[in-house]
Amino acid sequence: MRILVAEDLYLLRDGLVRLIEAYGHQVVATATTGPETLDALLKWRPDVSIVDVRMPPTQSDEGLRAALEARRRAPGLPVLILSQHVEQLYARELLADGAGGVGYFLKESVFDADQFIEALERVAGGGTAMDPAVIGKLLASGSSNRKLDRLTEREHDVLSLMAEGLSNQAIGQRLFLSDSAISKYTTSLFGKLDITDDDNNNRRVLAVLRYLNK
């Protein structure tokens, strides 16, 4: 994969580049400010980009805004946002266009390098990847709460992992269950929540996120 790393802190940028290269991927460019990130995103059109939320010159949400702007001009451009904190508000903005190819993670998610690279690949393939912390907040709040109470504990687990962006197969591996068992759970939970099932995994994940975001 050709990857762009946009991060203003040298130590983190350097660490990310080393991690990516250790997994055999290529870093095509790095950026350290908001405007630089936007230019690099549009110029290189990388397979996936890792973008920090807070960057110079304003030290506000420069990175996030650059990513949203780039995706407005180049719909579906895969971007994974890394941040010291996760907000449902930002997750909503990232998911609003419904195009997929979006990831949103806490910075410490890189501690589990295997899973992080896996998520990066999923985003590059047009899928979504959400930090468990984001999904936890989505599940804990909002008006969809009452319907979620009808789910069994297992169905709840499956729903969370699905919302994080995992395929049936990957969910099965995490929960040590067979594929067929997972599809049984998904069918029943989709029925309980009135979401139409879709064979395409990405479209299904987006439907789940849209449901939780209501």
In the complex, the smallest distance separating the C-beta of residue 213 from another protein, rounded to whole angstroms, is 9
Helix H or strand E encompassing 114: helix 113-124
> Residue with structure tokens 């451009």?
77
With CA atoms as reference, report the closest residue to 94 among 108, 106, 80, 115. Answer: 80
CA–CA distance, 11 with 54 (Å, rounded to integer): 15
How many C-beta atoms lie closer than 10 Å to residue 20's C-beta? 21
Residue 145 neighbours by CB under 8 Å, 6+ apart: none
- Residue from 89, 149, 194, 199 in contact with another protein (CB under 8 A): 89
CA–CA distance, 198 with 73 (Å, rounded to integer): 28
With CA atoms as reference, report the closest residue to 118 among 80, 89, 76. Answer: 80
- Residue from 26, 84, 152, 178 in contact with another protein (CB under 8 A): 84
- Residue from 31, 38, 46, 54 in contact with another protein (CB under 8 A): 54
CA–CA distance, 78 with 193 (Å, rounded to integer): 29
**Of 30-38, 57-65, 119-127, 196-204, which segment contacts another protein by CB under 8 A?**
57-65
Instruction: For residue 53, state whether it binds another protein (rule: CB under 8 A).
Output: yes
In the complex, the smallest distance separating the C-beta of residue 157 from another protein, rounded to whole angstroms, is 20
Q: At 80, which amino acid appears?
A: L
In the complex, the smallest distance separating the C-beta of residue 188 from another protein, rounded to whole angstroms, is 26
Instruction: For residue 117, state whether it binds another protein (rule: CB under 8 A).
Output: no
Instruction: For residue 142, state whether it binds another protein (rule: CB under 8 A).
Output: yes
Instruction: For residue 60, state whether it binds another protein (rule: CB under 8 A).
Output: yes
- Residue from 10, 111, 153, 200 in contact with another protein (CB under 8 A): 111
Select 72 or 92, whichever has its Cβ closest to another protein: 92
CA-based max dimension of the chain? 51
Instruction: For residue 107, state whether it binds another protein (rule: CB under 8 A).
Output: yes
Select 11 or 89, whichever has its Cβ closest to another protein: 89
Write out the residues near another protein by the rule CB under 8 A: 53-54, 59-61, 64, 84-85, 87-89, 92, 106-108, 111-112, 137, 140-143, 145
